[in-house]
Amino acid sequence: MKTIARAVFTAALLLGTSLSAFALERGGTLTYGRYADSLFLDPVLNDANVDIWILSNLYDTLLLPTDDGKGVQPGLASEYKLADDGMNLTLTLRDGIRFSDGSPITPADVAWSLKRAAKKDNGIWGFMIESIDDVTTEGDKTILIKLKHPDPAILAALTVFNTAILPQKQFEASPGATDEEKAKAFAEHPIGSGPFVLKSWDRGSSMKLVRNEYYWAKGEDGQPLPYLDGINFELIPDDATRILKLTSGEIDGAEFIPYSRVNELKSSGNLNMELFPSTRVAYITLNVRPQLGGKDNPLSNPKVRQAMNFAVNKEAIIQIVTHGVGKPQTSYMSTATPLHVGDKPLYPYDLDKAKLLMKEAGFEGGFSTSILVLAGNQDEIAASTALQQMWAQIGIKLELQQVDNPTRTQQYRDGTFVMRNAAWTDDIADPNEITSYFVYSKTIDALHTGWKSDEADQLFEASQKEMDPKKRAEQYARMQEIYNAEGPTVPLYETPYPVALSKKVHGFLQIPLGNNIFAKTWKEK
């Protein structure tokens, strides 16, 4: 842990020196173009990335992820200590920290917030802290967390948005009978302890944040963060429009720049085209159930899957889809995910081998199959169109089916889909989340594919309690080996987060977990 902390410190220092090349300026409002609006600003009950990725600006957590997304650093808790048996965690709150309404943050608020987050059926994120047994307080600064079992990921879990600390009294004073109703009311005017406060929200149009006067962290100039007076999130779903608004100077930053535009914006004089390292991987999910729609499913044959993998020219796809921005996957998890193993691209393009495997699998003549594509999603269309061409080489005739998201999700959940495009981003600085979904069959049937490896399941269960980092790393190495060899996915590429910012904007960061960090952002006048 220490080495990580040191690395972070060094990185921060480097970043700091590079920043100090400019004279830091405080004040001003940053206008940031988002592709979709948030839905629900409750950290526990929210459902989607559109909420998750900006929540840290409103709500603070006890611990914070490091900027590389792999480690943990102090947040509202200035100190934390995990007992040697791994069953107890002690945290100490910072001095004088307050919520955005000025009320002090007490251990009681913390205990209540964590218990609410851990409560079964409260939202869909509780699984990350399912190990928490009880939370108690001691004095006016100390929090004791008792675990059901040793949890190697508990520290990382306390950086995740759903463990954000909310003021118990104000929350419970919100109108409504149930927790959900109260949360609905509370989330309209959230009170947290993040660097910003929600000022106004015009759903589907814009969201205005202003600086939180009570935020605890200090900036480089020794004054409290954030530097900005406020942030205006403007909702601009159309990619081209979002970029046009940025280039015309109407907004200062824009997220989700299409890969096709990255090189163009890079060469633009007044923009910084940022490619933030991410945990994002893009892949094709294959349904490997032996029978599908009453017919034998060729995809259930691992050799077929390997053949399909070998038949994909990843470099070409990276060119076509990401315009060179992405890179080939070396494991099912991204290189930015802790405990990632792998140094060379999976399944190098090898048509002969693919054909051979098809022959061995008894599908020399190929077969017809289909893939779900999110309607209108240019990346998925491009990737699938390329796959259609590539797999045609080994006799697989691929039909593209564009559907809307709910339709796709339903087929996915029902396990009736054949293939689908998919992408994944970690929410926690630990490999357990992605592995639980991809590999472990008991979460959602390994991405609803019906794939199952008893060995991997056992390894995963063991790793969830394994406190020895080295042993845990070995477990993950083995799981990656199994999955990468015969798993139900065709890994395509991993990509950074493409964010374009005006040259006047400094200090913005999107960490590999996706969180947009505006605390240290400042803007030249």
Partner 1 sequence: MPLFSFVIRRLLQMIPTVIFILIVTFILVRLLPGDPASAMLGDRARDADVERINRQLGLDQPVVVQFFYFVRRVVTGDLGNSIGLKVSVSSLILQRLPVTLMLTGMSALIALVLAVPLAFIAASKRERLPDSIIRGAFQMGLSMPVFYVGIVLLTVFAAQLKLFPVGGYGDTLGDRLYHLFLPALTLALSFAAVLMRNLRASIIEVMNAEYVDFATAKGLRSRVILFRHILRNALISTVTLFGLQIGTLLGGAVITETVFAVPGAGRLLIDSIYGRDYPVLQGLTIALAVLVSLTFLITDIVQAWLDPRIAR
Partner 2 sequence: MSADWAAARSAFRLKALPRSLVSGGVILGLSLVLALWPSLLAPYDPTAFDYSALLAPPSWAHPFGTDNFGRDVLSRVIHAYTIDMQIAIFATIGPFIFGTIVGAFVGYAGGLWEAIFGRIVDATITFPFLVLVIAIVSVLGPGLGNMYVAVGVVGWVFYARLVAAEIKVQKRLDYADAGRVMGYTPLRIIFRHLLPNAITPAIVYWVTDMALAILLGSSLGYLGLGAQPPAAEWGVQIADGKNFMNTAWWISVFPGVAIVLTGLGFSLAGDGVAELLRVRR
Residues in touch with partner 2 (CB under 8 A):
239-240, 258, 260-261, 264, 316, 319-320, 323, 373-378, 381-382, 384-386, 388-389, 399-404, 407
Identity of residue 3: T
Among partner 2, partner 1, none, what binds residue 352 when CB lies within 5 to 8 Å by partner kind? none
Cβ 406 to partner 1 shortest distance, Å = 3
Identity of residue 163: T
Nearer to partner 2, 130 or 239 (CB): 239
Q: Where are the alpha helices (DSSP H) in 43-178?
A: 49-55, 107-118, 154-157, 168-172
H or E element at residue 169: helix 168-172
Among partner 2, partner 1, none, what binds residue 400 when CB lies within 5 to 8 Å by partner kind? partner 2
Nearest-angstrom CA–CA distance, 56 and 49: 12
Question: Does 245 participate in binding partner 1 (rule CB under 8 A)?
Answer: yes
Three-state DSSP at 324 gives coil
Nearer to partner 1, 106 or 489 (CB): 489
Among partner 2, partner 1, none, what binds residue 10 when CB lies within 5 to 8 Å by partner kind? none
Cβ 378 to partner 2 shortest distance, Å = 6
Cβ 321 to partner 2 shortest distance, Å = 9
Q: The tokens 């998201």 sit on which residue? A: 405
**Nearest residue to 435 (alpha-carbon basis) of 477, 377, 375:** 477
Among partner 2, partner 1, none, what binds residue 388 when CB lies within 5 to 8 Å by partner kind? partner 2
Cβ 73 to partner 1 shortest distance, Å = 26
Stretch that binds partner 1, among 231-239, 302-310, 471-479, 516-524 (CB under 8 A): 231-239
How far apart, in Å, are the Cα atoms of 432 and each of 154, 319, 459, 476, 489?
11, 31, 11, 9, 18
Q: Mask 247-286, x = binds partner 1 (CB under 8 A)?
A: xx-x------------------------------------
Question: Does 404 participate in binding partner 1 (rule CB under 8 A)?
Answer: yes
Nearer to partner 2, 78 or 388 (CB): 388
DSSP string, 247-289: HTTS-SEES---HHHHHHHHT-TTEEEEEEEEEEEEEEEE---
Three-state DSSP at 170 gives helix
Long-range contacts of 117-125 (CB under 8 A, 24+ apart): 117/43, 117/44, 117/162, 117/163, 122/44, 122/45, 122/179, 123/44, 123/45, 123/46, 123/47, 123/162, 124/47, 125/44, 125/160, 125/161, 125/162, 125/427
Stretch that binds partner 1, among 64-72, 229-237, 309-317, 512-520 (CB under 8 A): 229-237
Nearer to partner 1, 106 or 287 (CB): 287
Number of residues written out for the chain: 525
Nearest-angstrom CA–CA distance, 412 and 410: 5
Nearer to partner 1, 125 or 497 (CB): 125
Question: Does 176 participate in binding partner 1 (rule CB under 8 A)?
Answer: no
What value, to the nearest 5°, has the Cα angle with vertex 126 and ends 122 and 127? 140
Cβ 372 to partner 2 shortest distance, Å = 10
How many residues sit in the footprint of partner 1 (CB under 8 A)? 43
Nearer to partner 1, 141 or 448 (CB): 448
Among partner 1, partner 2, none, what binds residue 402 when CB lies within 5 to 8 Å by partner kind? partner 2
Among partner 1, partner 2, none, what binds residue 401 when CB lies within 5 to 8 Å by partner kind? partner 2
Question: Does 238 participate in binding partner 1 (rule CB under 8 A)?
Answer: yes
Three-state DSSP at 508 gives coil
H or E element at residue 104: none
Residue 315, burial from CB neighbour count under 10 angstroms (0-12, 13-18, 19+): middle
Binding site for partner 1 (CB under 8 A): 39-40, 47-48, 121, 124, 180, 184, 187, 202-206, 234-238, 240-242, 244-245, 247-248, 250, 403-413, 422, 437, 443-444, 447
